[in-house]
Amino acid sequence: MTQYLGIIGYPLGHSISPVFQQAALDHHGLDICYQAWETPPEELPAAVDALRQPDRLGMNVTVPHKEAVLPYLDRTDDAATAIRAVNTVVKEDGRLVGYNTDCSGFLRALREDAGVKPEGLKVLVLGAGGAARAVLYGLVANKAGFVGVASRNGKRVRIMVESMMGVAKEYDARITMGEWRREGMAAILPWYDLVVNTTPMGMLHGEAEHQSPLDGVAIPSKLFVYDLVYNPTETPLLRQAREAGCRTLGGLPMLVYQGAAAFQLWTEREAPVDVMFAAARNALRE
């Protein structure tokens, strides 16, 4: 019997997860089909419940459901509980278990692809959604020296930062927060070492496809700019940073690494990362 995995989110026109996950499943000769299950917010409860069907093994979760999915799961692992966001669901003995592989994917890409260690860095995180939660947790738990979080949604960023204060205290890290303002951003950017964009600004087919979160702001050339958006490969933010002389990293490595971690949770097989990267790059070229 063919079994099924999938990804839920809304919209899903930008997602290449079905392409590289299917390539990994086919590499191992598994009779499993990975699909895109576009899920508007009002259909989230039904989408999670459908995962309890016998032929479904699990799913990925993307914008805007990473936080909203929590109440519909049977439990979450320690990292997902601390982050309060889930991007991978695994059916284990009939129970739906939530994991967060965004955090490990973010850190692996930062270390292996960018050659940047988070320890001691001054980092500015843009955004306050589920991806921002994973990034903030990963930075704090890996001893970043100082993490600032900026978002246009002051309430969301305050709730996110306050929920991480216990982790920050445990790892002796400092966190601050503020609402995003262009004038203020220009003044504080020179103080940071690394900027991480976790917002969907610049994402293909998104509402802000042609925008950068730092539009109109001078970016110091000493900054490393990491944009979690992977499609297009060069977002408006990355182009702006490149033209300013900054080192940059796009979101594709994080996407593949978090997907590889999810693959291993679902299948208990070693993820063929090279196969996944090749499939993902081909999909982005099409």
Q: Do 233 and 261 form a contact (C-beta atoms < 8 A)?
A: no
> Is 122 considered catalytic here?
no
Distance CA 228, CA 231 (A): 9
Q: Do 249 and 111 form a contact (C-beta atoms < 8 A)?
A: no
Does the pLDDT of residue 33 top 90, yes or no? yes
The whole domain housing 15 covers 3-100+255-285
pTM as predicted: 0.95
Distance CA 235, CA 252 (A): 12
Which amino acid makes up residue 211?
A: Q
Whether residues 125 and 199 fall in one domain: yes
Catalytic entry in 66, 91, 169, 222: 66
Residue 225 token pair:
């700019």
Over residues 130-159, the pLDDT tens digits come to 999 999 999 999 999 999 999 888 888 899
Whether residues 157 and 266 fall in one domain: no
Residue owning tokens 């499609």: 231
Whether residues 17 and 116 fall in one domain: no
Whether residues 207 and 177 fall in one domain: yes
Over residues 21-30, the pLDDT tens digits come to 999 999 999 9
Whether residues 133 and 238 fall in one domain: yes
Q: Do 145 and 137 form a contact (C-beta atoms < 8 A)?
A: no
* CATH label of the domain that carries residue 69: 3.40.50.10860
